[in-house]
Amino acid sequence: MIPDTVDYASSPAGVDINVGDVTVPEGDGGNGALGCLGRDCKNKAQVVVTLDQPCPIAECLITVIADSTTGGSALAGTKINFGGADYQAITAAKPKVLKIKLGKNTAKLSINITPDQTDEPAETIFIDVIAHSPQLVENDGVGMITIVDDDDLTEPDTGIALGDAIVYESAEDLACLGALKCKGTAVLPIVAAGAVVSATPLSYTITNGDDVIAVFDAAEAVDGKTIGDDFKPVLIAKVKTLNAGKNTSALVITIFGDNNDEDGVFSGETLTVTMTGAGVTDGIGTVRINNDDD
């Protein structure tokens, strides 16, 4: 999580670690509300950690925590659906070790979240890198999860919403064997307020974003096979099914690395995900791809 006023600068001392951010709709139930077919609802956020070059050793290790010591307004707990906790903490006593294999550049971290029925402001969770392999350098070592409240005076809530994400690209590198071979990912959460009663098909497209002059460029892609594509698009709608009894899913989007220092205050590019289907109340998701070149 780097302020928008800061342009990217690679570290000459090693391979950069960059932690992304995600915005996730909260969902309903939890903490005994039994909003998911007679049981507590569950939710999670997935944050992507990206190296600016492929891992140069057999296995790159990155150790992270997310609890009351890392900050954020959400209440940490030893487990979800217990004692009013908003999420399940990852503590220094039992941290999470992310592993990235030789030639790869991304890992995903999942944080378990408790939905509730309390009308409240958005809440935040911060993820900190506390240790890593010596070949790596911490560049953006803090990730942020924003839990967007979806409660009001009428409960239980209904509807299906799509989240947003911020990820870093990786460089185009010989270790990946050429252009469009260094791949990263963005994960957009899909959250239903409660478990869907029957299988619910959700149509989606993944398309170029919009230019914001002097701030963000539109991420652009032709077909995911053309040199210069920033991501793998979905131009003809595909279907993601939220299965009966479930309240969460996710879209995983392929991001291509390059060696171009993109324009913009923060050298970021955006793409747009559009989702439609029965019960969809927020079907627009944005992925911001932060530049890792200078």
pLDDT of residue 150: 73
Note the pLDDT of residue 186. Answer: 95
Q: What's the confidence (pLDDT) of residue 155?
A: 57
pLDDT tens track, the chain, 294 positions: 555 555 555 666 679 999 999 999 988 776 666 667 677 778 899 999 999 888 999 999 999 999 999 989 999 988 776 667 889 999 999 999 999 999 889 999 999 998 877 777 889 999 999 999 999 999 999 999 999 987 666 656 678 999 999 999 887 766 677 677 888 899 999 999 888 889 999 999 999 988 776 667 788 999 999 988 999 999 999 999 999 988 899 999 999 987 766 655 456 789 999 999 999 999 999 999 987 766
CA atoms within 13 A on the CB side of 168: 34
Domain extents for the chain?
15-290
Condensed to tens digits (0 to 9), the pLDDT of residues 53-74 reads 889 999 999 999 999 999 899 9
Place of tokens 């809440």: 123
In this structure, what is the dihedral angle of CA atoms 222, 228, 231, 236, given to the nearest 10 degrees?
Answer: 10
Match 């010591």 to its residue by tokens: 69
| pTM: predicted TM-score of the whole model, two decimal places | 0.90
- What is the maximum span of the chain, computed from C-alpha positions, in angstroms? 56
pLDDT of residue 149: 81
**15-290 adopts what CATH topology?**
Immunoglobulin-like (2.60.40)
Q: What is the pLDDT of residue 258?
A: 77
Q: Tell me whether strands 136-140 and 96-101 are parallel, antiparallel or unpaired.
A: unpaired
Cα-Cα end-to-end distance for the chain: 18
What distance in Å separates the CA atoms of residue 127 and residue 138, rounded to the nearest whole number? 13
Q: Are 72 and 142 in contact (CB under 8 A)?
A: no
